[in-house]
Structure 1
Amino acid sequence: MSSAFTPRVRWIIIGRDSDEHGTPRCQWCGGPVRIAPGEYSIQHVRARGMGGSRLADTGQPQNGTLVHGTGTTGCHGYIESHPVEAAERGFRIRQTQNPATTPMTLWDGRRVIRNPDGTLTPAA
């Protein structure tokens, strides 16, 4: 299984990370996201690493979240350059952690679990 997000999985994540009006929202800062090249990316919560990952869930909805920018710009760039803060909020997890059971604190303070089916559940 590929560690990249397929177009289908990308749209599942974008839909999940959109507000009640259908506006895609950056899950780090809450700002609206323009779905255009260079304007957004899907953050791999558990990094795929150099050359990809053999873990089956790496390219699945539970391992991704919508953010502004690229790996070096916007909120995605901020997450990459502030690994401790990103880990505290669940935007970066260790290779040994399961993205479907590791809580994430979203921009609005909600703590959620990202499910394999592309939904969110409140974290305990």
Structure 2
Amino acid sequence: MTVTAKVRKLVLERDNWSCVCCGQSVIGRPYSLQHRRAKKMGGSRLPWIDQPQNLITVLGSGTTHCHARMEARGADDKFKGYVVSEWPQIDPRLIPVEVATVDGRRWMWLTPDGGRALTPPADAEMAGCGIHVDFFTCDTCEGCKQCGPCGCELAAEWAREAS
């Protein structure tokens, strides 16, 4: 599968022809449609891999600007929803993206029809933080592991430091 011209247009229009990370216009500049959940070299059979909820507009190529940074798959980019982990297999529409807008930075959910939503999908079970899906909730203390160390992780770290 590949990104169709129709999907490319939907994503660029949804992202206002700007990089979701830095907010700069991509018109007349090198840009990419970044797969939030990596496609991998052999492609993917996931039905949403080349769909709007898995694609974001980013400035640069795989070796320059915002796109190059994302290729490193860093923790900050995962937290902001620019990168979706390969495991567990979660539909990217359930993972919000921090988007640079003219009004500042906002959390938005990307929809399969090429739109954006300020609220999570109706079928999403949310963690206590209200931003991430329930999968990231610690079973013991119910803290969101995606937002930072949960209470259990903090207590374990304090215990290590005290010993």
The verdict on a shared fold, with TM-score over 0.5 as the criterion, is yes
Which residue is 2:113 aligned to? Answer: 117
For structure 2, the residue ranges without an aligned partner over 5 or more in a row are: 121-163
- Offset of 1:123 from its aligned partner? 3.6
Greater radius of gyration (CA): 2
* Alpha-carbon separation, structure 1, partners of 2:94 and 2:53: 9
AA aligned to 2:52 is P
Which residue is 1:91 aligned to? Answer: 82
- Offset of 1:113 from its aligned partner? 0.4
Match of 2:54 among 60, 63, 69: 63
Tell me the TM-score normalised to structure 1 length: 0.86
Q: Secondary structure at the residue paired with 2:32?
A: strand
* Alpha-carbon separation, structure 2, partners of 1:61 and 1:50: 20
- After superposition, residues 24-63 of structure 1 pair within 5 angstroms as 24-34=17-27, 39-63=30-54
AA aligned to 2:97 is M
Query: Comparing both structures, which one devotes a greater share of its residues to helix?
Result: 2
* Alpha-carbon separation, structure 1, partners of 2:35 and 2:28: 17
Query: Identity of paired residues, percent?
Result: 35
Which residue is 1:21 aligned to? Answer: none
* Structure with bigger RCO (C-alpha 8 Å, 6+ apart): 1
Q: Aligned pairs, how many?
A: 115
For structure 1, the residue ranges without an aligned partner over 5 or more in a row are: 19-23
Q: Deviating runs (4+, > 6 A) in structure 1?
A: none
* Alpha-carbon separation, structure 2, partners of 1:97 and 1:52: 17
AA aligned to 2:70 is I
CA RMSD of aligned residues (A): 1.4
